[in-house]
Amino acid sequence: MQLYDKDLLSVQEVRDLVEKARVAQEVLSHFSQAEVDKIVKSIASAGIRNAQRLAEMANKETGFGIVADKVIKNIFASKGVYEHIKDMKTIGEIARDEEKKLRSIAIPVGVIAGIIPSTNPTSTVLYKAEIAIKSGNSIVFSPHPSALKSIQETVKVIRQAIAEAGGNEDLVGCITIPTMQATDHLMKHPDVALILATGGSAMVRAAYSSGTPAIGVGPGNGPAYIEKTADLRLAVKRIMDSKTFDNGTVCASEQSVVCDTDMAEAVQKEMERQGAYFLSETESRKLGEFILRANGTMNPAIVGKSVQTIAELAGLTVPEQTRVLVARENGIGRGHPYSNEKLAPILAFYTEDNYEKVCELVRKILHYEGAGHTFSIHTEDDKMVEYFALRIPASRILVNTPSALGGIGATTGLTPSLTLGCGAIGGSATSENVGPMNLLNLRYVAFGRLDLEEIRKEVPSPEAVTQTLADINSASVELIVKKIIERLQNA
């Protein structure tokens, strides 16, 4: 009975939060661009001021990641996102084309439901609050239960920042009684216009099945190819830095390293020199049985944990200075646990005879898990970049950069974001790094340019059409005859 009451309370709380958010958004819809930008700037400043404290809270509550790296993520989600969006036109008329006599007006969607994961809880809240309000919307968060306290504290910081900037703090709300019923009710609430879902595959599927428009992102499982022209030391450094960043909790982080077979020894030696520990066959099998659950999904016990903690949990003994665990892998799919996404400092290691076979391997990995997400390549050959970019089913092709930071736009020119679209191939509504422009609709004002009589003048007469077809057919016959003669002459 107590659990039943909790469910009822959580559903009622959602109704109250959505109603308050709806009223606050209605007021915000009459704000000028400058007034909206003032609120967004206040949120960014508050995020920077509280970055350390919120990082410590998230780490303590979830047990995931590294405090120093979570500080970086909080600052990225605050300052990095703000610097990118601060000059965007998102309120009122945002574009005018005098030649086409066309005007574009930004229309907020309304109340957004924000699903927050436990891996990046505080940074994701800061980022989503900024882009939601920048585009004229309000947002109600559904927090992951294991990160409830740190998410609530982040929302408290944001609400205060909104009030200080002259806005209604109810523009941002958060469920305090997290239940499945509450999240389901939030996603299906008639006054919720859009779902912005960042989380596991089941949650994203639920968002898309809710009947409410949704932007959800699938899992990452990004392979990293070290091509033969790469600066090997630098490539390995970038991969190691990326995979150890916040203990691998960023979905764009590398999940496997691939190289040509004749480079395998050199790549392994360089990785070992920089702190990688290559597991023996026995160790690999033992850890492989631990990192996945019986149903084939990732064991949450490894998420965001250090190498030493993972080794201890799996009953392994590894050198104290080990930064990343590496397992040689020769297959993809069930029975090959290292071919899955591993949000921890664990990498699969593949080799293939040449780049064509590497490309096919990478395609298979991503189609198994991570389609549409991210692929990284380390090379000095631009032709290799073009070859893979045209063939790999990923929305982000990252070149010579740490994948975790490059994918979210911290070390690349991509939109700074903590929600990375995977496109249709990955089951997402967008392939973009989600930003404010994804959270608004465009209303077009189109002035007449032609009258019906002018259009009729452009339509050719039946006689003209007949003559044109005759000319085309004639030219085609002449061309065929010419080619036949050329072949006979060259025979």
Active site (catalytic) residues: 251
* Cα dist from 412 to 78, 119, 372, 400, 405, whole Å: 17, 22, 18, 10, 8
* CA proximity to 197, closest of 74, 137, 113, 134: 113
Query: For residue 112, with 0-12 CB atoms within 10 Å meaning exposed, 13-18 middle and 19 or more buried, which class applies?
Result: buried
Q: How many CB atoms lie within 10 A of CB 410?
A: 20
CA distance 7 to 398: 44
Q: C-alpha distances in angstroms, 38 versus 75, 96, 135, 167, 170?
A: 18, 25, 13, 9, 16
What is the C-alpha to C-alpha distance for residues 124 and 73, in angstroms, rounded to an integer? 9
Give the CA distances from residue 389 to residues 28, 253, 377, 395, 484, in Å, rounded to whole numbers and listed in that order. Answer: 42, 18, 10, 9, 39
Angle between helices 121-134 and 148-164 (to 10 degrees): 30
CA atoms of 37 and 82, how far apart (whole Å): 10
Partners of 235 in the β-ladder: none
